[in-house]
Amino acid sequence: MWRRGPVLAGFAVLTAGLLVFHRAVPNSVGRVGSLLEAFLPWLGLVVVVLFALALLRRSAVALVALLLPVAAWTYLFGGLLLPATAPGARQLVVVQHNVSDENADPAGTARALADAGPDLIALEELVPPALAVYERTLAAAYPYHEVRGTVGLWSRHPLTGARALDIKPRGITEPWNRGLRAEVRTPHGRVAAYVAHLPSLRVRASGLASARRDESARLLGEAVAAEELRTVILLGDLNGTVEDRGLAPLTSRLNVAERGFALSFPAAFPLARIDQVMARSATVTDIRTLPTTGSDHVPVAARVELSAAGR
């Protein structure tokens, strides 16, 4: 039993190494590091396959070696599987959804999002005439809203100081406005809400094409860093997971969800959460998916606990 399966044991150690030292995988060629990080939780399936093969081979050394990737995966992602915490006294519920510019049922989508009862709803890929449908359908429950370009924010609480964010990467010459900042006057104090839609990624023969996404993330991170209000909530289709180093300008400044995987794309078979809710001077206690809509993204809802010192 101790002589069988050295190759399986080697794969187990390699998997553990990729989980723990994923930032050491170089991004210089084809952005392989970011590609790995986009699907990092799925390395858990590799562990399951190796475990089955180790049992089949009756390899004790492989089973012992598998303790390494199991421990690494649990350390990185085990907390996301824990039950959501009880609602707090200073909580906001927020919804993030890329509604798709090809959505054939914007009214149904708007009603589905409102049914979750959030305080804030952030939408991307808003295009006419669907925008008018969202405005009309959400007006009763969300009397305050702001739209800049193709992104918008609907709120139960007053919005002030709304402006577009300049997160347009170099090289894009056509009209492109995918960032919005507004101040939300919540019952618990003022909050700066940011809505963003970062450029899409492309997987090509040469690797992952993410340069524009990364540049836009850097510009958004600089805007958040310059924000004068203490409390910030960022909602958006960021076209990246929180493990992806391309979003480091944001994840280094903002908290991410403590509970929940909430895989949001593609809607037909979600593989990753690229629709994000992050916060500064606040805690994203948990995130979950909502029922699918007419979009190719799955909407996500999160609870954000505001700091008592955030006024």
Residue 142 and residue 118 share a domain = yes
Assess if residue 311 is contained within a domain.
no
Q: Say whether 47 sits in a helix, a strand or coil.
A: helix
Domain extent for 297: 91-306
Query: What pLDDT does 88 receive?
Result: 83
Task: Select from 81, 109, 124 the last residue of a domain.
Answer: 81
Q: Which two tokens mark 77?
A: 């992602």
Please name the helix (run of DSSP H) or strand (run of DSSP E) that holds residue 124, with its range, or none: strand 120-124
Number of domains in the chain: 2
Q: What is the DSSP letter of 31?
A: T
Residue 62 and residue 36 share a domain = yes
Distances (CA, A) of 293 to 135, 195, 270, 300: 17, 20, 13, 11
Residue 30 and residue 11 share a domain = yes
Assess if residue 58 is contained within a domain.
yes
Query: What pLDDT does 3 receive?
Result: 72
Beta pairing partners, 276: 236
Residue 98 and residue 74 share a domain = no
Residue 54 and residue 10 share a domain = yes
Query: CA-based Rg of the chain, rounded to a whole angstrom?
Result: 21
Give yes or no for a contact between 117 and 229, defined as CB atoms under 8 angstroms apart: no
Amino acid present at 297: H
- Give the integer Cα–Cα distance in Å for 170 and 172: 6
Q: Return the closest-CA partner of residue 5 out of 55, 45, 57, 51.
A: 57
Query: What pLDDT does 295 receive?
Result: 98
Query: What pLDDT does 1 receive?
Result: 62
Owner of token pair 């952005």: 31
Instruction: Divide the 311 residues of the chain into consecutive groups of 10 and give the mean pLDDT of each group.
Output: 83 97 92 94 97 94 96 96 88 98 98 98 97 98 98 98 97 93 97 97 80 97 98 98 97 96 97 98 97 98 85 49
Please name the helix (run of DSSP H) or strand (run of DSSP E) that holds residue 46, with its range, or none: helix 43-57
Residue 207 and residue 296 share a domain = yes
Q: Please state, as a whole number, how many other Cβ atoms lie within 10 Å of the Cβ of residue 211.
A: 15
Residue 298 and residue 149 share a domain = yes
Assess if residue 20 is contained within a domain.
yes
Distance of CA 298 to the CA centre of its chain: 11
Residue 61 and residue 161 share a domain = no
Residue 58 and residue 104 share a domain = no
Query: What pLDDT does 99 receive?
Result: 98
Task: Select from 30, 60, 81 the last residue of a domain.
Answer: 81
- Structure pTM? 0.94
Residue 257 and residue 233 share a domain = yes
Give yes or no for a contact between 300 and 290, defined as CB atoms under 8 angstroms apart: yes
The CATH number of residue 256's host domain is 3.60.10.10
Assess if residue 1 is contained within a domain.
no
Assess if residue 12 is contained within a domain.
yes
